[in-house]
Amino acid sequence: MSQLENWEINQLKRIQGAIIGHGALILFIGLVAGVMLTFAMLNGIKIWPILDIPADIPGSIQGWKAAHVGGMMNGIMLIVIALCLSKLSITAGKLRFIFWAFILTGWGNTLFYWFGNLSMNRGLSVVASPYGEGDIYGAISFVSGGSVMLLTLLASLMIMQAGFKAARNNM
């Protein structure tokens, strides 16, 4: 890693902290989806021996599994990306792009999983798909998840390039 100025170090630390914070919150939301998965599997809010409230939990067991695992993986992804940034030499402009790309990815995917679970077509389209009719939940899901895909791919390629460059420079 090249020699950084104090302001660059401070900016990097601030960006890392923000990504870690967002990642931890997204991870928490994924864990909440795990609670919803449990309630959906039990057909109610059941915490033995305290509560036993029969309830029809919206969404599907498969959808809650996806929101649970996807949320945890997205949160972990953000935290790992944040920790990797200090190991790489990345320009300030690329660093800002990577920051916003992964913040938007984490939240876009979180909305995709939750609203996709509530939609009739799994959030894979704004209109009807082989999985069902389009609805507002499907539209929110599709737009939030689909709109960040290209950003995620580009930011991943930037990190890959910086990683390989660091590997070459340290040989």
Put simply, whether the predicted model's pTM sits higher than 0.75 gets the answer yes
Helix (H, G, I), strand (E, B) or coil at 131: coil
Hey, what amino acid is at 118? Answer: L
- Give the pLDDT of residue 9: 82
* Contact of 30 with 2, CB cutoff 8 Å: no
- Token digits for 58? 């919206």
* Contact of 138 with 126, CB cutoff 8 Å: yes
- Give the pLDDT of residue 1: 43
Task: Identify the segments of the chain with pLDDT beneath 70.
Answer: 1-4, 171
